[in-house]
Amino acid sequence: MLLAAIAFVQAAFAEASGPTSRPDPHTVLVLGDSLSAGYGMAAGEAWPALLEARLRERDPRFRVVNASISGETTAGGLARIDAALARHRPVIVVIALGANDALRGLPLSLARENLAAIARRARKAGAAVLVIGMEMPPNFGLDFTAAFRAMFAEVASAEGAELLPFLLEPIARDRANFLDDNLHPTPQTQPVIVDHVWTVLGPMIEALPAE
């Protein structure tokens, strides 16, 4: 019994203080939905894959773990974040969720709580956080679209995260940039999207301690 207790304490200490408990300084985790998963295109064409290629030009040790799933909601992201943090130990977590909550008519108050909880867990694990927002079309109503837009800024401000207000801002006004469903961007737009993400993520990368 005593030996089992000692082994438990040693394991707990190793987990808390050993190298596996620290973030990997070259891992970025993207937790998103179909807009980040690369719906309608090869995995290597999606903006997170292009982000990894850009980072590896700086340092071959960088990797981007794209944990995005088509149809994912904030609740789904919250259910997965702990396992993703433990497995990948990212130094930066990019949260690009919320659109499916709105499309499914789920309460924005719940989406806000879920996003905040994801950000808190990431920061507790030692990762910096980037919250990426989305926009809803005007037919959802002016009050709803305004509240939805504000949700991302509120979470970022409250949780000490960086903010990119609208993932698709550079391409949103041109119908030719989207697939036939008028929801998902084409493969040709992905370099533009990664350039847009880089405007906020780039300085976060620059601020990482040298390894």
Q: Mind telling me the catalytic residues?
A: 34, 181, 184
Distance CA 118, CA 91 (A): 14
Instruction: Report the helix count and the strand count for the chain, using DSSP H and E.
Output: 8, 5
Q: Sign of torsion, CA 156 203 193 45? A: negative
Instruction: Compute how many other C-beta atoms are within 10 angstroms of the C-beta atom of residue 71.
Output: 12
- Chain-centre distance for alpha carbon 94: 3
Cβ 102 vs Cβ 33: under 8 Å: no
